[in-house]
Amino acid sequence: MNGTSALAELACEQFEMPPRRPAIAWRFAISIADTDQLRHLLAQCALGDRRAFETLYRSVGPRLHGVALRFMGRADLAEDVLQESFVRIWNNAARYQPQLSAPLTWMINITRNQAIDQLRKQRDRPLSEMEQDALPDAGPSPAEQLSSAREASALRRCLDSLDGMQRQSISVAYFQGLSCAELAEHLAAPLGTVKSWIRRGMERLRRCLEA
Amino acid sequence: MNYQTPALRRALAADYAIGLMSTAARRRFEQLLLDDAALRAELAQWQDSLASLTAAVPEQAVPERVWHAVTARIEPQVLHVPEKRPWWTWLRLTVAVCSVALLVFIGALYNRDDARYRATLLSADAQPALKVEAHENYLQVEPLTLAAVDPSRSLELWAIAPDGKPISLGVIPAGGKGKVELSAAQKALIGKPIALAVSLEPKGGSPTGQPTGPVLYQGALTAL
């Protein structure tokens, strides 16, 4: 493994970094807006480069932690999800397909899937009384989350183009990982209606984001 | 179902991306994904759109313990498992343990010191007076009801073979309790059908090599 990563670093120095970066820079976080850099770090992880993994962790950790906390609503559960997510990112880095998705999207999806798995497990077993007491006051509701998401300008315009129930059903489905039936129950609406809210809302959202 | 309809493919990918499908439907869709690059691309676009829903979620500082937990899990062979010892280490250890066990066993055999023959010598009035146990290299003598012996005299132990001639086995320690060491010739007698006898002799034993005083006690030596 060491041989591989040493080779990878050598390859970097020789072929990919004409403006030579000091090696120490790898220790620090990079901007998560730098998609090329994230993609490069993932490729290095796929080769077993632990330093690249640490840089990746320092860079996207706070972002994924925020996402995990939004899903789980509890600090301890969010940390578990974050830990599992990074283990998966490391183990699956070689399966990341850059032509399919942005690196951050890929990592957010891993975190979301992990969070939803945990949420489903929690829903499947009743909370003990102690856990009930330990639950934080209801965090931001999905609607509030979405309204804060609307602050992000590109998204804002698109979400505004959805009607209220489309917006709400998408955000509940996305952030809570509810099945269709659970979602219908949650929103107190017929199954078919909920499905069409989501389908139409998603279509409109996507067309708008692509525009 | 015709998965080739663009509208249906798009809708299915959307359902899958947001997570509305039942488990069975998810499995079917994942099977389709395996062979269908265009469907994978369709799905990826939905996932990108949905991931943008998290764009405004604030970042959270990550406690250092999470990093430690992650590294512990991705390098378990370094952090948790002791380095594997080469097989000959175990072989050497096994040989050493076996050798020690063998030595202890042989030593135990070698040092076995159980009494093999015993005689209870009786006085003239048939009272048990002296117990003699024959070990490999010595006789252990113990008084039962031994008459007092004048300090200027000694009790001497004799082996009396079937042909009748007494052979001295040595002087019994004063007080009657103790060991009488055996020579090689004396050892050869033990185990033969002999009787033991004790005579009263001058201090230090008979000067002639044959009993000179009265025989006080006698009895047969029998195997245990």
CATH number for the domain including A122?
1.10.1740.10
Whether A100 and A202 share a structural domain: no
**Lowest-confidence pick of A120-129, B40-49, B172-181:** A120-129
Chain A residue with the nearest C-alpha to that of B56: A149
| Residue B74 touches chain A, beta carbons under 8 Å | yes
Structural domain B117-223, CATH architecture: Sandwich (2.60)
- Reported as a pLDDT band with limits 50, 70 and 90, residue A11 is very low
- Residue A181: give the domain boundaries: 142-210
**Per-residue pLDDT at A66 exceeds 90:** yes
Average pLDDT score over residue span B108-125: 80
> B68 CB near a chain A CB, below 8 Å?
no
**Position B29 pLDDT exceeds 60:** yes
Identify whether residues A85 and A18 lie together within a single domain.
Answer: yes
Pair (A127, A160) in one structural domain: no
Are A52 and A76 in a shared domain? Answer: yes
Of B41, B52, B57, the CB nearest to A209: B52
- Are residues A101 and A204 both part of a single domain? no
Tell me what pLDDT residue A52 has: 93
Q: Is the ipTM of this complex over 0.85?
A: no
Residue that terminates a domain, selected from A133, A165, A190:
A133
Q: Which of A63, A83, A202 sits opposite B18 (nearest CB)?
A: A202
Q: How many domains does chain A have?
A: 2
Residues A42 and A101 in one domain: yes
| pLDDT tens figures, B189-203 | 887 778 888 888 888
Question: With 50 as the cut, is the pLDDT of residue A39 above it?
Answer: yes
Same domain, A51 and A106: yes
Question: Does the pLDDT value for residue B69 go beyond 90?
Answer: yes
What is the reported pTM?
0.56
Asked whether the predicted pLDDT for residue B126 surpasses 50, the reply is yes
CATH number (domain holding residue A163): 1.10.10.10
CB within 8 Å: B73 and A83: yes
Widest distance between CA atoms in chain A:
61
Q: Does B7 touch chain A (CB under 8 A)?
A: no
**What tens digit of pLDDT does each residue of A104-143 get?**
999 999 999 999 989 888 877 665 555 555 444 445 556 6
- A47 and A81 inside one domain: yes
Confidence of residue A6 (pLDDT cuts 50, 70, 90): very low
Q: Which of A103, A133, A163 is the last residue of a domain?
A: A133
Same domain, yes or no: A102 and A194: no
Q: Which residues pair with B222 in a beta bridge?
A: B118
- Whether residue A118 sits in one domain with residue A54: yes
Same domain flag for A28 and A89: yes
Higher pLDDT, residue A145 or B221: B221
Residue A12 has pLDDT above 50, yes or no: no
pLDDT tens digit string along A167-189?
Answer: 888 888 898 888 788 889 988 99
Mean pLDDT of chain B: 84
Mean pLDDT for the stretch of residues B177-198? 84
Do A120 and A175 sit in the same domain of this protein? no
